[in-house]
A and B are shown apart, each in its own frame.
Chain A
Amino acid sequence: MSENAQLDADLAELFDDVFGTWREARGSATLELDLDRALWATLDETGISRLTAVDGAGASWVEAAGLLGAAARAAAPLPIAENDLLSGWLREQAGIEDDGLLHSAAELDGAGAANAVPWASQVDRITLLWPAGSGWKVADVATSELTITPGRDLAGQPRDAVKADLSALEGSDVSAEVAREYRLRGALARAVQMNAAMGRMVELAVEHATSRVQFGRPIGKFQAVQNLIADAAAEVAISGSAADAAVLLAASGQADLDRLELSVAVARSVAGHAASTVVRNVHQVHGAIGTTFEHQLHEFSKPVLAWRSEFGSVREWDSLLSEKLVASDEGLWSFGVETDG
Chain B
Amino acid sequence: MVIQLTPSPVVETADLKALRQKVRDFVAAELASGGFTPTINSWLGGWEPEFSRKLAAQGWLGMTIPKEYGGHGASFLERVVVTQELLAAGAPVSAHWVADRQIGPSLVKFGTEEQKQKLLPGIATGELFFGIGMSEPDAGSDLASVRTRGTKVDGGWKVTGSKVWTSGAHASDYFFVLARTAPLDTAHRHEGLSQFIVDLHAPGVEVRPIISLNGGHHFNEVFLEDVFVPDDMVLGTIGDGWHQVTSELSYERSGSERFLSTLPMLEEIRQAMSRGDIPVDPELGRYFARIMALHQTSLAVAGALSRGEEVGTPASIVKVLGTTTEGDIAELATMVPGAASAAASLDTLRRYSDQALLERAGFTLRGGTNEVLRGVIARGLGLR
Among B285, B297, B384, contact of A319 (Cβ-Cβ < 8 Å): B285
Residues of B close to A238: CB separation below 8 A: 6, 290, 293-294, 296-297, 317-318, 321
A331-B6 in contact (CB<8A): no
Query: A217-233 interface mask toward B, CB cutoff 8 Å, 1 = contact, 0 = none?
Result: 00011010111011101
Give B56-99 interface residues, CB cut-off 8 Å to A.
Answer: 75, 77, 84, 88-89
- Given contacts A238-B297, A241-B9, A338-B17, is CB(A220)–CB(B284) below 8 Å? no
Residues of B close to A236: CB separation below 8 A: 5
CA distance A1 to B317 in the complex (A): 25
A3-B11 in contact (CB<8A): yes
A248-B295 in contact (CB<8A): no
CA distance A266 to B200 in the complex (A): 46
For chain A, the bracket of interface size reads 35 or more
Among B293, B318, B320, contact of A239 (Cβ-Cβ < 8 Å): B293
B383-A241 in contact (CB<8A): no
Residues of A close to B13: CB separation below 8 A: 1-3
Shortest CB–CB separation between residue A9 and chain B, in angstroms? Answer: 11
Residues of A close to B321: CB separation below 8 A: 234-235, 238
For residue A146, CB closer than 8 A to chain B, the reply is no
Give B311-368 interface residues, CB cut-off 8 Å to A.
Answer: 314, 317-318, 320-321
For residue B32, CB closer than 8 A to chain A, the reply is no
CA distance A241 to B377 in the complex (A): 17
Give B261-308 interface residues, CB cut-off 8 Å to A.
Answer: 263, 266-267, 270, 273-274, 280-286, 288-297, 300, 303
Among B11, B20, B289, contact of A2 (Cβ-Cβ < 8 Å): B11
- Given contacts A266-B289, A270-B290, is CB(A210)–CB(B295) below 8 Å? no
Residues of A close to B139: CB separation below 8 A: none
CA distance A216 to B289 in the complex (A): 42
Give A304-341 interface residues, CB cut-off 8 Å to B.
Answer: 315, 317-327, 331-334, 336-341
- Closest residue of A by beta carbon distance from B319: A234
B286-A318 in contact (CB<8A): yes
Shortest CB–CB separation between residue B74 and chain A, in angstroms? Answer: 13
B residues within 8 Å of A by Cβ? 1-3, 5-6, 8-14, 16-18, 20-21, 24, 75, 77, 84, 88-89, 263, 266-267, 270, 273-274, 280-286, 288-297, 300, 303, 314, 317-318, 320-321, 371, 374-375, 377-378, 381-384
